[in-house]
Amino acid sequence: MQNSKTPAAGITSAPFGNLPDGTPVAIYTLKNSNGVEARVCTYGGILVSLLAPDRNGNLGDIVLGYDHLRGYLEKNPYFGALVGRCANRIAGGRFTLEDKTYSLAINNGPNSLHGGLKGFDKVIWQPTLAHVATGPALELFYLSKAGEEGYPGNLEVKTTYSLADDNSLRVDFEASTDQPTIVNLTQHSYFNLACQGDILGHQMQIEADRFTPVDSNLIPTGELRPVRGTPFDFHQATTIGARIDQDEEQIKLGHGYDHNFIVNHPMGRLDRIACASEPGSGRILEVFSDLPGVQFYTGNFLNGTITGKAGTAYHPRCAFCLEPQFFPDSPHHPNFPSIVLKPGQTYRHSVIYKLSTK
Ligand code: GLA
């Protein structure tokens, strides 16, 4: 018999407060048969919590965020959020498409970051319950109107969250447009597999032979640089903290890791691109994606001023992000894979976060 305190596997919903204008926000709980649980709210499609077992079976929340909606509304450096229309930076917030130049909302020094002032992380997504091969799923829809944050074309976006019984949380993105535009969507969770402290002792492995070096505004220079012999070589699982303060130009420009890695697999194939593990808890997080890049960010801009879940102050490097995506600032680099989406085409991108222990 089912204990009322431990709801069955499946998806349930509850209210999660209101926006200042009264719009209600809902939170959905996805639970699998092992008790793994993901909570996602309709504001920003934010992954609010992700409970993962350690090697002794104890569940811990491995993502940063807030206990209440208020925190996300007041200040959210993209904790758990869906990011778009264009994840990462676009230099000068301008790009040219089919001979027309568009100006985007500027929100990061001279650049446009993560969709602008009100990106997909700050909008209400329309929820629907659905079924995918692995079980129940939460579909979130958003219509980004032509001109929003400066982007051309009405963009219809669907993001589907599903949690399978092999302890993998899957996020599928789909988008289509009625005018040529640019699209680069990702999930921006901040992970800490120990559920406390910093992530310097976590091990990281990234399937990338090259990365894209940046300038002082974190805009790629256009170079595709081999990781070999640099602090960016994560072919072998390496402690994140081992080289994070090395006297090296790119590490200094990023204040640690805040770089796009060029993953080795061919675009469109859903492969394992990275694996993080934490020796103390035994938790392992494998990340799968079908896009050509992944931004590895070590929370360098967290400065202790944000108080998150259970009153925890979030300090630099208390979490890492692995954001599967196209390369940053793609419109200005003809040698980067194109992020242009045309009418009649469908943008598709899948990410899997697979949890296990050792
Ligand atoms: C991305 C960027 C970082 C930072 C975070 C959000 O990962 O690459 O520089 O802006 O988002 O704070």
Which of 318, 301, 349, 325 is closest to 76 using CA atoms?
301
Query: Any long-range contacts for 98-102 (C-beta under 8 Å, 24+ apart)?
Result: 98/180, 100/152, 102/150, 102/151, 102/152
Q: Of ligand 1's atoms, which has the minimum distance to the CA of residue 302?
A: 12
DSSP classification of residue 154: -
282 close to ligand 1 (CB < 6 Angstrom) = no
Close Cβ partners of 41 (under 8 Å, ≥ 6 residues apart)? 16, 25, 26, 27, 28, 48, 69, 72
- Region label for 35, one of left (φ > 0), alpha (ψ between -120 and 50) or beta (otherwise): left
218 lines ligand 1 (CB under 6 A): yes
Lowest-confidence segment of 5-14, 114-123, 329-338 by average pLDDT? 5-14
CA 83, 249, 319, 162 dihedral sign is positive
CA 87 vs. chain centroid, Å, equals 9
CA 297 to centroid of ligand 1, rounded, Å: 7
Nearest CA to ligand 1 atom 5: 77
Residue 128 one-letter amino acid:
T
- Best residue among 218, 253, 258, 294 to mutate for probing ligand 1's pocket (most ligand atoms within 8 Å of CB) is 258
The torsion angle over the Cα atoms of residues 318, 287, 91 and 348, rounded to 10 degrees, is -140
* Ligand 1 atom at minimal distance to the Cα of residue 297: 7
> What DSSP string runs through 15-78?
EEEE-TTS-EEEEEEEE-TTS-EEEEESBTT-EEEEEEE-TTS-EEE-B---SSHHHHHH--SS
Q: Chain-wide mean pLDDT for the chain?
A: 97
The burial class, CB within 10 Å (0-12 / 13-18 / 19+), for 336 is buried
pTM over 0.75: yes
CA dihedral of 351, 134, 54, 13, whole degrees rounded to 10: 90
What mean pLDDT do residues 174-191 have?
98
The alpha helices in the chain, defined as continuous H runs, are 69-74, 249-253
Atom 8 of ligand 1: nearest residue by CA position: 258
**Ligand 1 neighbourhood includes 321 CB (under 6 angstroms):** yes
Q: What is the number of alpha carbons within 13 Å of residue 134 lying toward its C-beta?
A: 20
Give me the pLDDT at residue 8, please. Answer: 77
C-alpha angle 220/223/227, rounded to 5°? 100
Reported as a pLDDT band with limits 50, 70 and 90, residue 30 is: very high
Confidence class of residue 353 from pLDDT cuts 50, 70 and 90? Answer: very high
Of the residues 149, 259, 323, 333, only one is catalytic, namely 323
Residue bearing the CA closest to ligand 1, atom 9: 258
Which residues have CB under 8 Å from 320's CB, separation 6+? 190, 191, 192, 199, 202, 204, 240, 257, 276, 296, 297, 298, 299
User: Could you confirm whether 149 is annotated as catalytic?
Assistant: no
Ligand 1 contact, 316 CB (< 6 A): no
Verify whether ligand 1 is closer than 6 Å to residue 306 (CB atom): no
CB 352 near ligand 1, within 6 Å: no
Residues 6+ apart with CB under 8 A from 252: none
What are the tens digits of pLDDT across the range 119-167?
A: 999 999 999 999 999 999 999 999 999 999 999 999 999 999 999 999 9
Other residues' Cβ atoms within 10 Å of the Cβ of residue 168:
18
pLDDT digits (tens, 9 = 90+) for 268-283: 999 999 999 999 999 9
d(CA 88, CA 78): 11
188 included as an active-site residue: yes
| Nearest atom (ligand 1) to Cα of 78 | 6
Residue count of the chain: 358
> Given a cut of 80, is residue 102 above it in pLDDT?
yes
| Contacts with 44 (C-beta within 8 Å, 6 or more apart), sequence order | 72, 76, 80, 81, 82, 120, 121, 122, 123, 125
In this structure, are residues 270 and 289 in contact, taking their beta carbons and an 8 Å threshold?
Answer: yes
Ligand 1 binding pocket mutation candidate from 64, 106, 113 (most atoms within 8 A of CB): 113
* Phi, psi (deg, nearest 5) at residue 345: -95, 155
Q: Is 297 in the pocket of ligand 1 (CB under 6 A)?
A: yes
Q: Which of 314, 317, 321 to mutate to test the pocket of ligand 1 (most atoms within 8 A of CB)?
A: 321
66 pLDDT above the threshold of 80: yes
